[in-house]
Amino acid sequence: MTRVWIGGSPCAGKSTVAGLVAEALGLPLYSCDDAFDRHVAEGGGPTMRKVTTMPVGDRLSQPIEVQVADVLRLGVEEFPMIVRDLPASVVVEGAALLPSLLAAAGVTHAEAVWIVPTDAFQRRHYGDRPWAHELLAGLPAPDEAFDRWMRRDATFATRIAASARDLGYHVITIDGTTSPAETAAEVLRRHSPTRQ
């Protein structure tokens, strides 16, 4: 069995890096984001149902702490469904991979890494994504909503990085000075997946 777990916050390049790692190891890639809608359709949990039925403007108008708490609860609710999906050997990536959950599941330090962006990189990268602006275009104050979105994700990134480090896992911070290929090489170099 070979598994590599790549967690972190949105807009850090996790999907690209995970794809490169999966290709290098000859493993399938499992995206938590791609499985989310299916998990909701299968029943999900109360937070999964809340975030999928609440309009984006309403979600982003909540206090930042409430939004971050929702994101953390999403991970708790979805993690058992993610684990149930996985083949024996796989590269798994997604923000739903909370360090505490992986530690409780016995995932070793060599098998997991968390990738988080700096606030400046996150804002710049999201700002370059047309779909992000389209998502907010119909809101009364799209710039304010974008700022709250970025503050939520930056708070989540800080929390998830601190949790991973406290548990002894490795954290990679993305500021735009390294390429996805270089980050993938670091993952492969520092995190040798367990083989059984």
Residue 174: which H helix or E strand, with range? strand 170-174
Q: Nearest Cα to 188, choosing from 19, 11, 69? A: 19
**Mean pLDDT of the 169-183 span:** 94
Share of the chain above pLDDT 70, in %: 97
Residue 56: which H helix or E strand, with range? helix 56-61
- Residue 192: pLDDT band by 50, 70, 90 thresholds? low
- Residue 67: pLDDT band by 50, 70, 90 thresholds? very high
In angstroms, rounded to a whole number, what is the distance separating the alpha carbons of residues 14 and 184? 9
Share of the chain above pLDDT 90, in %: 71
Backbone dihedral region of 126: left (phi > 0), alpha (psi from -120 to 50 degrees) or beta? alpha
Mean pLDDT value across the chain: 91
Domains of the chain: 3-190 (3.40.50.300)
Q: Report pLDDT for 8.
A: 95
pLDDT digits (tens, 9 = 90+) for 119-139: 999 988 887 778 787 888 888
The distance in angstroms from the start CA to the end CA of the chain is 5
**Mean pLDDT of the 66-94 span:** 95
- Residue 195: pLDDT band by 50, 70, 90 thresholds? very low
pLDDT digits (tens, 9 = 90+) for 90-116: 999 999 999 999 999 999 999 999 999
